């Protein structure tokens, strides 16, 4: 996934879920934040960030915040990127062979899953979660309680019971990760339901990403620890 004409800035503060203030070429700009998560460990004053110019010249904010510098690497915070990354991996044959059909946002029960894939004789629902929280080399999700996430997991368990394949793919939007685990301190119920899903046969996968100043690409599988 490529970005166009990226500009570096210095983070000042987050005004609300959707807007942050960033110093760009000596001026303070209000920029769109492409992630409504908390991101408190990333959005700290004076940290370098990368911005993509808006494609619509009429938009109120001239830039969107895409990456944040953490230690010696860029962390991608674009919440739209993980779905595209997993779709690219499916289309390239990295996840399954004999793919014959791909559809985004297909409904099952009371949920719409990110991807529905038919490969071989299998019909497969896939939910994708972007991960930006890292602590001590471990990637964790969620960074804030998510009832919607629990609902999706329960629906995947039901899909599995009805004979579909079902997967959750955690896309870790950085490198340098040793393993993935649910954030049980932040949301213990999510961790418990994820364990239920694993026990029910729902596949749980995690991949890290190569992040550059103008791109992000799904890279290597990361061990998943669910207890």
The verdict on residue 148 lying in a domain is: yes
pLDDT at 58: 82
Residues 67 and 87 in one domain: no
The verdict on residue 185 lying in a domain is: yes
CATH number at residue 208: 3.40.1350.60
pLDDT at 146 over 90: no
pLDDT at 223: 98
pLDDT at 194 over 90: yes
pTM higher than 0.85:
yes
Give me the numbers of helices (H) and strands (E) for the chain, helices first please. 3, 15
pLDDT at 183 over 90: yes
The verdict on residue 227 lying in a domain is: no
Residues 90 and 195 in one domain: yes
87 is written with which tokens?
């779709």
Count: domains in the chain? 2
Greatest alpha-carbon pair distance for the chain in Å reads 58
Burial 192-216 (b: 16+ CB within 10 A, else e): bbbbebbeeebbbbbbbbebeebeb
pLDDT at 182: 96
pLDDT at 222 over 90: yes
> Which of the 8 DSSP states describes residue 153?
H
Mean pLDDT value of segment 80-106: 94
Burial 135-154 (b: 16+ CB within 10 A, else e): eeeebbbbbeebeebbebbb
Q: Examine the fold and report which residue of 72, 98, 119 is the final residue of a domain before the chain moves on.
A: 72
Contacts for 149 with CB less than 8 Å, ≥ 6 apart: 129, 142, 190
Return the residue matching tokens 């004409």.
Answer: 5
pLDDT at 78: 97
Mean pLDDT value of segment 147-154: 92
Residues 133 and 206 in one domain: yes
Residues 154 and 216 in one domain: yes
pLDDT at 144: 86
Mean pLDDT value of segment 141-169: 94
Express each pLDDT in 116-141 by its tens digit.
Answer: 999 989 999 999 999 999 999 999 99
pLDDT bucket at 57, cuts 50 / 70 / 90? confident
The verdict on residue 2 lying in a domain is: no
CATH number at residue 47: 2.40.50.580
Residues 98 and 39 in one domain: no
Express each pLDDT in 36-46 by its tens digit.
Answer: 888 999 999 99
Domain that holds residue 57: 7-72
Residues 36 and 90 in one domain: no
The verdict on residue 41 lying in a domain is: yes
Residues 97 and 164 in one domain: yes
Is residue 37 a contact partner of residue 132, using CB atoms and an 8 Å limit?
yes
Cα–Cα distances in angstroms (integers) from residue 128 to residues 86, 112, 123, in the given order: 8, 11, 17
């Amino acid at each position: 996934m490529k970005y166009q004409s990226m500009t570096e800035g210095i983070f000042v503060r987050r005004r609300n879920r959707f807007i942050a203030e960033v110093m760009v070429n000596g001026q303070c700009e209000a920029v769109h934040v492409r992630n409504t998560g908390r991101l408190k460990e990333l959005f700290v004053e004076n940290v370098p960030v990368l911005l993509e110019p808006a494609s619509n010249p009429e938009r109120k904010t001239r830039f969107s915040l895409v990456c944040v510098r953490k230690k010696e690497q860029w962390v991608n915070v674009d919440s739209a990127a993980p779905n595209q990354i997993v779709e690219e991996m499916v289309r390239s044959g990295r996840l399954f062979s004999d793919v014959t059909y791909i559809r985004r946002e297909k409904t099952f029960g009371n949920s719409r899953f990110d991807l529905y894939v038919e490969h071989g004789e299998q019909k497969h629902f896939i939910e994708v979660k972007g991960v930006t929280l890292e602590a001590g080399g471990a990637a964790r999700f969620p960074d804030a309680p998510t009832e919607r996430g629990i609902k999706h997991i329960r629906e995947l368990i039901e899909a599995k019971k009805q004979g579909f394949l079902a997967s959750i793919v955690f896309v870790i939007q950085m490198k340098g990760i040793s393993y993935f685990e649910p954030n049980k301190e932040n949301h213990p119920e999510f961790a418990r339901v994820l364990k239920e899903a694993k026990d029910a046969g729902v596949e749980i996968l995690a991949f890290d990403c190569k992040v550059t100043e103008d791109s992000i690409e799904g890279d290597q599988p990361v061990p998943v620890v669910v207890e």
